[in-house]
Amino acid sequence: AIAQPTGIGFLWGRLDVLETMPPYQSGGEMIDQVTLEGSTFASPPGRFEAGTPAIAQAVGLGAAVDYLAGLGMANVEAHEHDLARYLVERLSAVDGLALYGPPRGEARAALAAFSVAGVHANDLSTFIDQDGVAIRAGHHCTQPLHAALGISASARASLYVYSTRADVDALVESIVSTQRLFAQLGG
C-alpha cells in the first residue's frame, strides 16, 4: 500500500494479454458498441473500467504517488529495510514471542506477524492499543496457515515511511508490559 484512499489501486498488464481478456464487470465506459443483437467492448484498459470512475480516490492515489516520489523511492526502500531489520531484531529478543515469516537476516517487508505465549492476539491488540500502539490481530485472511501453525490468530505489526525505531521500541515495551500483566493474572 502506498497510503492512497481505499477502493483504488493500479494493475500493470501487458497489452497483448489484456486484449485477449474479457471484461469482468459491465457498465458505462467499458463498451464500444451496443445494439439489440450484441455488444463489443472498448480496448484495454477501458474495458476493465466499468461504471463511474473513482475520481476522488484517483486524486488521492496521485497525491500518494507524488508524496512517495518526493521522498525518493530509494530512501523509502532503505528506511523500510532498516525498520524491518530492527523490528525483527527487537521482537526476536522478547521471551515467549513466536515470530512468523522469513528467518532473521533474510530480506522482508517492514511488518511482522507473531504470537505471544499466554496472551491471545486479540487481547494483546487491545492492551497494546491502550498504550497508543496500533497492531492488527486475527487470521489476516490466512486461516489455512494459522491452522498449520496450530494457532487461532496472530498479531501483526506493520510499519511505513512515517514509522520510526521509537515506534518499534514502544511496541516491544507494550508487548512485554502486557505479558507481565497476563502472567500476574494467570498465576
Catalogue the active-site residues.
Answer: 141
Q: Which residues pair with 114 in a beta bridge?
A: 99, 155
In angstroms, the CA 13 to CA 128 distance is 41
Name the E strands within 83-123.
97-100, 111-116
Q: What gap in Å lies between CA 93 and CA 139, rounded to an integer?
A: 24
Rama region for 153: left / alpha / beta (φ>0; ψ in -120 to 50; rest): beta
In the sheet that 154-158 helps form, which strands lie side by side, from edge to edge? 97-100, 111-116, 154-158, 136-138
**Peptide bond connecting 45 to the previous residue in cis, omega within 30 degrees of 0:** yes
Find, among 51, 46, 53, the residue nearest to 27 by Cα: 51
DSSP H/E element including 60: helix 55-71
